[in-house]
Amino acid sequence: HFMFLYNFSSKQEHPSIYGLSRITSSLYLSNGTAANNKLLLFASQITAVINVSVEVVNTFYPDIHYMHIPVTDTPISRLYDYFDLVADRIHSVDLQQGRTLLHCAAGVSRSAALCLAYLMKYHAMSLLNAHAWVKSCRPIIRPNNGFWRQLVQYEYKLFGTNTVRMVSSPLGLVPDLYENEVRIMIAF
Ligand SMILES: *[C@@H]1O[C@H](CO)[C@@H](O)[C@H](O)[C@H]1NC(C)=O
Ligand SMILES: *[C@@H]1O[C@H](CO)[C@@H](O)[C@H](O)[C@H]1NC(C)=O
């Protein structure tokens, strides 16, 4: 199992050259600056851009389809309402041999959460495995705790079971995979 993860994390030996984090053969994740970089978009053959923000302004390139998901990065934002819409969109771009770039401002919370929803719905990955996968491609991902709660609900809706649980901590409800981290933070 370690070998499995190790292979994924060594897959991108030059992440700084590519700029966009490659998640699957047809899905990329990035921050807002990279999403407006024409060279990066063309180098990765992006045909669809999904803008999950209220603050990043897109540059429009005529050959690229744009979709806007206006959600702020707060734990009370409802991202759940967009899980199916965005996953279906990424899937249909894939069926047309296109490539999607999902981005928000930092490429850490909102766009990463939508990526996890897509992998669960169309790659039948558990939430736990989807998270391990995306983190190996883009180590800085960290959906906020409210998005985690919504992802846990979505996993249950899709599979009738959960691989990640929300647990109480001094910082409020956190996904169990962050539990150790919270314990260490509190200790300091
Ligand atoms: C955005 O992503 C690009 C490409 O990976 C990176 O070079 C840049 O430093 C990032 N900007 C911020 C503000 O994180
Ligand atoms: C991306 O988001 C910004 C801020 O809401 C908006 O100005 C821009 O039009 C959006 N792009 C698309 C394609 O909707």
Closest residue CA from atom 4 of ligand 2:
54
Q: How many helices (H) and strands (E) does the chain have?
A: 9, 7
In a domain, 159, yes or no: no
d(CA 37, CA 129): 30
In a domain, 187, yes or no: no
**Would you say the CB of residue 117 lies under 6 angstroms from ligand 1?**
no
In a domain, 170, yes or no: no
In a domain, 167, yes or no: no
| 38-58 pLDDT, tens digit each | 999 999 999 999 999 997 777
Structure confidence at residue 188 (pLDDT): 66
In a domain, 160, yes or no: no
| 123-137 pLDDT, tens digit each | 999 999 999 999 999
**Would you say the CB of residue 32 lies under 6 angstroms from ligand 1?**
no
| Cβ proximity of 65 and 49 under 8 Å | yes
Token reading at 117? 């929803």
- Whether residue 3 is predicted with pLDDT greater than 60 in this model: the reply is no
Q: What CATH number did the domain enclosing 12 receive?
A: 3.90.190.10
Pure H helices in the chain? 2-9, 15-18, 32-35, 38-43, 83-95, 110-123, 127-137, 145-159, 179-187
In a domain, 19, yes or no: yes
Amino acid at 96: Q
Structure confidence at residue 179 (pLDDT): 82
The domain tally of the chain equals 1
Instruction: Determine the distance separating the centroid of ligand 2 and the alpha carbon of 58, expressed in angstroms.
Output: 6
In a domain, 65, yes or no: yes
In a domain, 88, yes or no: yes
d(CA 3, CA 1): 5
Residue span of the structural domain in which 89 resides? 2-143
Is 104 assigned a catalytic role?
yes
d(CA 176, CA 188): 20
Q: Which atom of ligand 1 is nearest to the CA of 15?
A: 5
Q: What is the mean pLDDT of residues 63-68?
A: 93
Instruction: Determine the distance separating the centroid of ligand 2 and the alpha carbon of 107, expressed in angstroms.
Output: 15
